[in-house]
Structure 1
């Protein structure tokens, strides 16, 4: 059967377009995670809004799930793709630290991106059998253990992207197991103590931690028809920028 050059080019272009097709549900998850993070940080603008801590518990597990979803794709498990992913996380970890410390009063941890960067190394060590990848993953776990108190969401926060990858294609109830890791990353002892003292946000926050992975998985599996604006690499800049915007807002209403 004779195949013309035009037919070959058409098939190649069609395949390329198919590979570049966005996952609308994944973009929606990222936007919702960003919204949850902004709501959480609005607590520091100046008004009493402790209840925003509850939706804020959704942000980190949803960012971890978005990372797992990206890494679960065959085309992003290449060495080059994951190194670029790590590079962007490390770059904006450094860029974001000053705006983070300017906005958050008396921070006792680094910003969240170092936690995600270490989590990425753990996932990469799980996916790639190469010795270098396994050593980097082991090193990331050691660093997470030693500097757990300096990392936002601590040791369990570093583990959460890997746990999300493990449950990504499993039945929905595995998401509830990931919720236990999410709760551990959110200092469950502090939340439990606050709940015993009658804090009105503590029990809803515990519930949010437990169901956040399941809610994210449900959204990825059942929101296939949505088409939000794609969140590309420029979105990394939203993390430091949102601190500066909220800082300006706090100063304006002071």
Structure 2
């Protein structure tokens, strides 16, 4: 079994437990990571304010102009990726750092504009440097895995016009898991998807039917909407299972694979 682990970039996510787990896993593992906090911190250190926008469907995401894209390239494949690879190698894992540009790992169409909601009105914003993943170089990942390496990958992706652009790390992990026919484990700062977003006691443990999946999508709010979107895309693309779980749990990956978090099975996606 291959496991694709998405390590979140939020400030509340501590990757140390996940890195230790990867060193002990018997399964092949691919790590995909974000770095929203690192990007925001770098922007603020440069005297720039991070900009987030809301889509008409209610999903909040980063607006990436040309200047932000330069910071993005510095922070993710530079700072965050290097730190994760260093941590894994210290734990005895033969980790290899990659961006989505390397070897054409993540490729697809660049967005010419994005639809946003500002002050209750729908608008078109141009100048966004982001894209949608359409292809994953699974051969590259499988070659690295077969040689005993653990790939550690992050955005940016390579757009079809040959430019590096931003893409959502959760959806990148989903694309990788689908291409490899793997189990996706999305590690975040909560214990899973909650039926009541404010009450951890209402964690949805398992989603196996379309009815349960509908309840899952209705429960997801805010940042969790994007996690559920990634889970859906992973399963539709061929992942064997998808889990949303806490990065801060004891042995977070092992705990997630053993039943922690929210497990979604392919049969739930109608």
After TM superposition, the score normalised by the length of structure 1 is 0.31
Flag the structure with higher strand content.
2
Flag the structure with higher helix content.
1
After TM superposition, the score normalised by the length of structure 2 is 0.29
Name the larger-Rg structure. 1
